[in-house]
Amino acid sequence: MHEGKHDPIIAKKLFDRAQEVLKQRGRPRHKTKNEPQPFCGLLYCTCGMMITGEHKVKRQKNGNVHEYVYYHCSRKSKTIKCKESCIRQEVLDKQISSLLQKVSLPQDWAEQLFSILEKDKKESAKSCSAFVQEAGEKIRVIKTRLQRLLDGYLEQDIEREIYRAEKAKLLSEKKSLEEKMARIEQKQNDWVEPMENWINYAQTLTKIASDSNLFEKKVASKEVFGSKLFLSDRETRVCAPSGSENKLENQWAALRAAHEMVSEKPKSMVLVGREGIEPSSLLAIAPKAIVFPSFTTCP
């Protein structure tokens, strides 16, 4: 009887506790202050620290609630007191989209590049075939010389040491030619697929820049600009590390420069420059050492 009198009290405590847990679970989760934002890890501040994002909520007296995302310097430097101002996410989005647009590949350019690529692929195959044929003929000559050398040795017309030295020399030549043939046949079009993939990807940047998927823009910006995006005076800039040359020797720099030169030169000159498509470096749309006009040196 003594235990029974206390049972209802214990059950009530458990019931209230269970109700509180259920109530907490039913509440909608809100973003935490430090939850990663789309462009975090993409840009650097001019002080050298990373740019981080922060979610802000503004409640007005009339009951309206506004949510914003700001990006600003992480201010983790122990030696520099950074005074760089913050920037709203929508403003930063427009700036990054503009930069991506300037390295996008227009469809008509892509069609011309594919045409040039196909031509170069045929010329490469033709050149490869000619080399293989020439090398094959040299190998046949070497085999004939090896047979004559062996015959002379067997007939004792050639001394053993001379025979061995000449044989080693001919076999080395034969092996070298065979390896070159195999390498050329295997790699003659190795540059074609990366080039095709780059042309296709460069075409997508127009859509990526105009869409609202911020994470996709971040991935594309990493691919194109690497770690060269800086925020200075609320403006996103493509910058070279301090002390380096103001040039970006890759296909993206060439494409950016091609956009800027298109009003000054014929399109055919802009697309291929003087050297045409370069399989080794994929600089398909401008000379190798092209200067990035808007590529500045950051402090």
Q: What is the C-alpha to C-alpha distance for residues 238 and 246, in angstroms, rounded to an integer?
A: 10
Q: Quote the pTM value.
A: 0.61
In tens, the pLDDT along 100-119 reads: 999 999 888 888 889 888 88
Amino acid identity of residue 96, one-letter, is: I
Distance between CA 270 and CA 255 in Å, rounded? 9
Closest CA to 185 of 140, 131, 143, 138: 131
Instruction: Report which residue type is found at 289.
Output: A
Extract the residue ranges of the chain whose pLDDT is less than 50: 1, 3-4, 31-33, 242-249, 273-299
Q: Over the stretch 166-198, which tens digit does the pLDDT of each residue have?
A: 999 999 999 999 998 888 877 777 778 888 889
CA separation for the pair 150, 297 (Å, rounded) = 68
Class of residue 182 by CB neighbours under 10 A (exposed 0-12, middle 13-18, buried 19+):
exposed
Provide the 10 A C-beta neighbour count for residue 231. 25
Query: Quick one: DSSP state of residue 50?
Result: B
Structural domain boundaries of the chain?
A: 120-191
